[in-house]
A and B are shown apart, each in its own frame.
Chain A
Amino acid sequence: MVPHESWAGYHPSMYELFEHTADLGLRVRATDLNTLFAEAAACLFSAVVEDIGSVEPRVAVTVELSGTDREFLLFDWLRDLLLKHAEDHVVFGKFEVQVRDDGLTGTAWGEPFDAARHMLAHEVKAITYHELKVVRDGDEWLAEVIVDI
């Protein structure tokens, strides 16, 4: 287990990358679902960019999703952000999410990828459904997602 380095705005212990033989796992803990989903996105982009703190919040993207399955909602939220990153060459560093019983509204702030200031760490091919988890763990929420590298 490798705790991720601290970066501006996020508590270092809230998310980490965990081991998976060929790929990478994202593990996030939070006291509420809104923070859990925001931290999961931060964890994803900490795998994409070497230093997520180098990303400035210059543009905002809003994602609206409907659905009642929390795991699929988390999957779709991360999938949409990854697609925007891949298609439009944007990197994100700040996230806010409102999770409802019937869907979510999420906003991601970031900027166009700039090779002079950002270093890409991994090409995350996709979010996978394998062992996808959003569960209560004592007083906290726990999410686990494996991404394909």
Chain B
Amino acid sequence: MAKPEFAGTLEKIGCNCWRIPKSFKAGMRVDGHIFASDKLMETIRKDQAPDQVANVATLPGIQKASLAMPDIHWGYGFCIGGVCATDPEEGGVISPGGVGYDINCGVRLVKTNLFLDDVKKHIRELVKALFYTIPSGAGRAGRYKFNPVETRRLMGEGPRFVLDRGLGIEQDLVHTESNGRIPDGDPHEVSDHAVKRGADQCGTLGSGNHFLEVQVVDAVVDADVAKAFGLELNQICVMIHSGSRGLGYQVCDDALSVFRNCPEKYKFELPDRQLACAPVGSPEGRKYIAAMRAAANYGFCNRQLLMHQAREVFAEVFGRSWQDLGMEQLYDVAHNIAKLEEHDIDGVKKKVWVHRKGATRAFPAGHPDVPEQFRSVGQPVIIPGDMGRASWVLVGSAGSMEKTFGSTCHGAGRAMSRTAAKLDGAGRKIEKELEARGVIAMATSRSGLAEEQPKAYKNVDDVVDTVHEADLSRKVARMRPIGVIKG
């Protein structure tokens, strides 16, 4: 289904920032702001994502502007790469579509004290061991099973619940957004269906764009911050991209079926049913917030168990404990989430609901929510790219607090649809092509590999350059994949 090019005005108003005036569409309460370079904007104009930025600007209680990051692409309801903040004091709403089905989809980066030369000769064996140990792909159950009581405890406590079973250390929690536990969630607001879907999936990768990669630091851009993060040239790291699995999808789905009657009940109009939302203080809104927070804690726990399995595989392959291999977690960020945060709105400090749908928190130096170890430099921001080119570590910078409610991009952003990428990959051996580029890749699904091939994505370097120049976050180090496992 070819979508027409965006027909509205996109007016350049600053460094890599474009405005959709609120006069563009009836019902817009604020302007839209899209962060993109001139080059990226050429692609962005070609689908309906800017129109979705305008739709989000109609949400009750929205503050300042409806925002989009440079990895923006056409989503459902919200665009992917969208950020908006709503004020509960001004009738602000919470929108499950502004979080996404995969609540607390996010990325974790684990360092090692190994270097490229140490790993080169073991990479095949390592990727194979990771692939056969870590469950990936649609419908795969994990090795960790939790009964409904345990699943609800896990959602209440986050990864601390599994730390008590020897599956992680205290520092893992400190180096996770919100210390791995978003408070005030209520696991009892999570339906039995969701709990059932999540019972055997904690510690599984899933499919789609989720992955686990062995990466090598191939460029250090900011030596001081890289040193503070413990990153250096040719160092080996492990990047994990996954979310809250079926449990999170079901929490979103359950909420949307309740929320579809809210526009009529609370007397507001929405341009798209998928933007379904409810006032933050309404019974529907409160229930979703409690369940979403609990599902987010499950997401942190999923990445904790994925990391634990990766640590075990490295220990097995290299014959040393993971502690000996220096497998410390650098940081873990959520990029599908809504959080109550304090922000400066026209000179007044307000608590607002920041929705990040394919966007990453990027708090600058000095922010109290940045772990003490990094507070003098800023929050580590982890940006996964495609499986052939690169991923990045950035650091939060001051511009994010002024312009984007402390947010930056979340990845490369798709350039091709899944169907187009699958067609493009037909008859090709994607894993052989990757091998020629120095990447050993294993996937459970052949079509998954074609849909996720590098050229299906924008070049992550272009996306990262844009947020760096706009001062939403700054470049620290670039990582190149050498081993990939996918669903």
Using a CB–CB cutoff of 8 Å, the interface residues on chain A facing chain B are: 1-2, 17-25, 27, 48, 50, 72, 76, 79, 83, 86-87, 89, 113, 119-123, 125-132, 144, 146, 148-149
Contact = CB atoms under 8 A, between A and B. Distances in A.
B208 A25 contact: no
21 contacts: A2-B422, A2-B423, A20-B417, A22-B80, A22-B414, A24-B418, A50-B447, A86-B250, A120-B139, A120-B207, A122-B208, A122-B445, A125-B208, A126-B252, A126-B253, A129-B276, A130-B77, A131-B272, A146-B76, A148-B100, A148-B101
A50 B193 CA distance: 26
B206 interface: yes
Contact of B75 (A1, A22, A86): A22
Contacts of B246: 86, 125
A114 to B, nearest CB: 11
**Looking at B253, B423, B447, which has the most chain A CB atoms within 10 Å of its CB?**
B253
A18 to B, nearest CB: 5
Interface residues of B, number: 45
Given A72-B260, A126-B101, A128-B274, A25 B1 contact: yes
B298 to A, nearest CB: 15
Contact of A125 (B77, B102, B260, B420): B102
B273 A1 contact: no
B77 to A, nearest CB: 6
B423 A130 contact: no
Interface in B242-292: 246, 249-250, 252-253, 256-257, 260, 272-274, 276
A131 B48 CA distance: 12
B138 A2 contact: no
Contacts of B272: 129-131
B158 interface: no
B25 interface: no
B197 interface: yes
Contacts of B276: 129
B460 to A, nearest CB: 16
Contacts of B74: 20-22
Given A123-B206, A129-B276, A21 B138 contact: no
Given A22-B73, A22-B80, A119-B445, 6 more contacts: A19-B2, A20-B74, A23-B75, A121-B447, A129-B76, A129-B272
Interface of B: 1-2, 47, 49, 73-77, 80, 100-102, 137-139, 193, 196-197, 206-208, 246, 249-250, 252-253, 256-257, 260, 272-274, 276, 414, 417-420, 422-423, 445, 447-448, 487
A83 B195 CA distance: 12
In terms of DSSP, what is the predominant structure of the interface of chain B?
Answer: mixed
B270 to A, nearest CB: 10
B419 A19 contact: yes
B273 A23 contact: no
Nearest to B421: A19
A97 B76 CA distance: 27
Nearest to B417: A19
A86 B487 CA distance: 16
B138 A19 contact: no
- Specify which of A25, A131, A132 lies most central, judged by the most chain B CB atoms within 10 Å of its CB: A131
A72 B260 CA distance: 10
A128 B274 CA distance: 7
Q: Which 6 A-B pairs have the closest CB atoms?
A: A130-B76, A123-B138, A129-B273, A120-B138, A19-B417, A130-B274
B423 A123 contact: no
B207 A18 contact: no
Please indicate which of the listed interface residues A50, A76, A119 has the most CB atoms of chain B within 10 Å of its own CB. Answer: A119
Given A21-B74, A23-B76, A129-B276, A87 B196 contact: yes
* Listed residue (A21, A27, A48, A128) with the most chain B CB atoms within 10 angstroms of its CB: A21
Contacts of A131: 76, 272
B208 A123 contact: yes
Contacts of A72: 260
Contact of B207 (A20, A119, A122): A122
Contacts of B250: 83, 86
A107 B77 CA distance: 30
A123 B139 contact: yes
B215 to A, nearest CB: 23
Contact of A149 (B139, B196, B253, B418): B418
